[in-house]
Structure 1
């Protein structure tokens, strides 16, 4: 194992974000960390080029972060690279300990293509940690404007890069796609500055998130460049060049981007290229104020303008990262103990579900585990019982039917045979009446009936013994799924109540809670299904033994009547 660790560590020296096994905890004073994996393989969101300087929002929620162990204002948050040594630049846009939701923007220096080893760690749980000075200015040198709309309602929207300015207040919606969002009322939001100025041939890129309420208007404009909607259809226009494609459904967030450069005007919708047009010669320069939302109503989030042509992979990655695409971003909570055991390999899906179980789900699953142990014990106990009984019953019947004297059947070594015990009960009754003794009177019809009644009583007692504890299997069969369903319903209720209170709906906030809640139903079925099969198997075996006992009693009484009954 030590040799393997050294080999893996040596292979990881070439890149900062290649996940390495068995790294030491960055700082022992921090009680927890959340491990984020950016999966750029075909199973995640596939990219084919290395991306540098990307800035991603990491969403913390009750499923991947222990808010109770962190400081109430999140001032003990720290972000570290995959090597567990290199601190990364970050900015906390939102930290809501009451509703257990937070958004942390992190600058990722390198994101490798085609791997699930791009890892970022968020540390917390250090009461003595001083607040670290952070800034939203995390973006690469090509970024000319980055506006997240964080702030108080009515305040101007601040450009994180500090290159554009706006004095007009912005109406805000507390629960946007990522954090705060701007609410459009038909009048354009406006930012001024020379930083976003570009030639008509580029290079230039702009992107933003939009949740429309109206489907016609100019979403983004700077000089001759327009990104607009016409009856829900997206269109980018620069001079005589027009790239149209992609429909926007109402009341749904969409990521829109336009790039100018390399002789092309390109339009992207939700990370995929929707249209492209050739740029004519002599296009006027892209300059003047940046306008957003002319004639439109709805919500806008995360406006970015860059003095470069963002690649298709860059925009695809930005769309997936900012929308919290579960295929791209996997997260889980670790403590120093659990991290040491889990560093060498990726955490499995089942382990993620267990990590996200709530207290109520644990209670239900523990009860179901106890039920499963009891049901398994009953099935084993009864299976052994009926197996031994069948073997001894077959041996006894062979001896009984071969015996000339009904009173002299060999029952040695047949302690598990119900038939042998019924035979002994019949012999006791016959001995009470001196049957088989010299000079004994023949049995009357009433005496034979009395013997049969006594043996029938023992038959009922044997049946009770055979069926004892079987009721525990029926409880597991009927009660297990209902208990599991109860755990799932309560877990789903808690998840949706937390989301409703926070108003922040994203797949990473919902999925872990619901998936973990469903684990309770799986546990219920895991108890009920084996118990159902075991019950039906045992019921059939016990029914056969009961039938054999009934047949034997009639056969025994008939032979006694023939041999020792009055004529």
Structure 2
């Protein structure tokens, strides 16, 4: 039995996540493992991405938000060497809603590999160090998360400070936090030196786009300088690029009312158009020279920049839809990076995998802590009942196992002494030292009751040198009575184990069914199916069934083991009763007892069950 419990504890030990020994700084109490996976099992990216601003999307499905500061100021991101601190920017952090968006500057991401970084937290004295100017490489000349409120100009995250000149559109929920809803009015970006381009220079524009209306020709990006122009837009829902009046269009329209990643790159004598990271059209032209204002979501008005930069009468409409994560670069971003952005910045990203949280002591608590925090109050009631059943069953198994062990050991000692008793059946009845050694032996108690019966009759004047068959049968009945009580003692409280075996899984199943009902009811009331919202509740509901099985399985093994040992002790008592009565009849019985015993044995043999 002890081996069984040791095995169960070892299994629990294997379930607990292993932790690394290295720790960045002692002031941080917790850390979380985050893996960047470009293998086929992850994002399936074969080309190296180089320096990348990686989006870390935290929610209640992968992070408990326990122990971290309310504004996330104590967050630190450290490379796998537990030494190199990585720059990061917090776009949004809301522990109350259980959502956070953080950009982390990873110096190098290789293709077809898995690399780890660590997110440290749990230091209430730590100052905020998030900085978008350091997180994104200097080749980004303008970058807008659109995290500002409606009516405020879009703020540039980079060090160039290219904040929008106009406060156009309204703030809505986007792919990554907040987004900008446009209704035909252009967002004007300044004609700053960082946004100027010489002829033939490299350039990248990228953004998440959601088209709400596919009629006409709508502009997403417009730059004009005299007769030169660079346009990116959609014509009847189909994306196109146009340079100096020459156009290249996609063969497939954008999906209406769906977020898609749109990008334009210029390198040398080629301008390319990408949708969701895939090149769909290109022009064999170089990037013109531009020093003017940039229009996003529409065409340039007549008052923007120099008069010659504006069209006399634009045939284009403003964009009807939404934009998110708008980026401008003075380099041509590689196709692999654009594909990685398209695949990793959405909610279903496979590029980033979240491991367990670890405490500084080295004990992994993340998965278990997340699971326990997701358990509702009503499920806790059922789990507590199961825990009490488990504790009760384990206490009973341990006590009963120890009790049976003491009985078996005492019976073994008594057997050794009884083998020497010969014809002196009352030899050990007055041995007090032996009585103390055999206080747990059931055979010793059977022996004492038999000797007591013999001495009682002697004290009453009966001739015990010749015992009748009726007297011997009476002594047997007295021994059988003691044997029955001993068997009852051995079987006591085993019914509790059988209740745990039969009832534990059903109680756990009840908790799971109730939990799933609550999860689906909440989902229906919210009106939105979100796997990140459903998964914690489902996992917590299944915890009740797991607890029920954890109650029943050890109880089943313990119950079967105890039943087997009880049968062995019971068989020893039955054999001893027969042996003692036989010796008593041999030494003191009359001849008539022999005939009576013979008939009794023959009757028992005729009615004995046949062994298979």
Normalising by structure 1, report the TM-score: 0.66
1:147/1:158 contact within 8 Å kept: yes
Greater CA deviation, 90-99 or 459-468? 90-99
- Give the C-alpha shift of residue 150 in structure 1: 0.7
Quote the offset at 1:139 in angstroms: 3.0
Alpha-carbon distance between aligned partners in 1 of 2:505 and 2:420, rounded to the nearest angstrom: 51
Question: 1:245: Cα distance to partner?
Answer: 5.9
The 10-residue stretch of structure 1 (523-532 or 188-197) with the greater mean CA deviation from structure 2: 188-197
Match of 1:310 among 321, 333, 349: 333
Q: Which has the larger radius of gyration?
A: 2
| Partners of 1:518 and 1:368 in 2: CA distance | 14
* Kept in 2: contact 1:466–1:542 (CA 8 A): yes
**2-structure distance, mates of 1:244, 1:140:** 34
In 2: Cα distance, 1:29 partner to 1:516 partner = 32
Q: How many residues align?
A: 521
- State the SS of the aligned residue for 2:155: coil
With over 3 angstroms needed to count, the CA separation of the structure-2 counterparts of 1:190 and 1:286, relative to structure 1, is farther
Equivalent position of 2:208 in the other structure: 209
Contact 1:91 1:134 in 2 (8 A): yes
Equivalent position to 2:123, from 109, 122, 125 = 125
- Residue matched to 1:323: 346
Q: 1:353 aligns with which of 360, 367, 371?
A: 367
Between 250-259 and 107-116, report the one with greater CA deviation: 250-259
Any stretches of 5+ residues in structure 1 without a counterpart?
1-19, 343-349
Call closer, same or farther: CA 1:409–1:53 in 2, change over 3 Å: same
Q: Which residue of structure 1 lines up, in the alignment, with residue 556 of structure 2?
A: 532
In the other structure, the counterpart of 1:290 is 296
Residues of 2 paired with 1:219 and 1:556: CA distance? Answer: 107
Q: Which moved more, 1:512-521 or 1:307-316?
A: 512-521
Residues 483 and 167 of structure 1, relative CA distance in 2, 3 Å threshold: farther
| CA deviation after TM superposition for structure 1 residue 503, in Å | 12
In structure 1, the partner of 2:90 is: 92
Kept in 2: contact 1:218–1:296 (CA 8 A): no
Matches within 5 A, 1:311-390: 311-323=334-346, 325=349, 328-330=352-354, 333=357, 337-338=360-361, 352-354=366-368, 356=370, 358=372, 375=393, 378-379=396-397, 382=400
- The separation in 2 between residues aligned to 1:150 and 1:68, in whole angstroms, is 25
- Per mean C-alpha deviation after superposition, the further-off stretch among 375-384 and 510-519 is 510-519
Say if 1:492 and 1:513, in contact at 8 Å, map to a contact too. Answer: yes
CA distance in 1, matches of 2:78, 2:446: 77
**Match of 2:312?**
none
2:412 and 2:28 map into 1 onto residues whose CA distance is 69
Show CA shifts across 1:325-375 (max 9, x none): 36524365556x34xx59xxxxxxx65424545468798989978866765
Deviation at 1:151, TM superposition (A): 1.2
* Aligned counterparts, 1:353-432, within 5 A: 353-354=367-368, 356=370, 358=372, 375=393, 378-379=396-397, 382=400, 418=442, 421-422=445-446, 424-432=448-456
| 315 and 21 in structure 1: CA distance in 2 versus 1, 3 angstrom threshold | farther
Q: Deviations over 1:110-160 (max 9, x none)?
A: 334455445254556344x66668456853343344221211134343343
The structure-2 alpha-carbon separation of the partners of 1:525 and 1:53, relative to structure 1 and needing over 3 Å to count, comes to same
Q: 1:168 to 1:441 in 2, by over 3 A?
A: closer
Contact 1:321 1:329 in 2 (8 A): no
User: Residue 304 of structure 2 aligns with which residue?
Assistant: none
| 1:140 and 2:132 correspond | no
How far, CA to CA, are the matches of 1:286 and 1:522 in structure 2?
A: 67
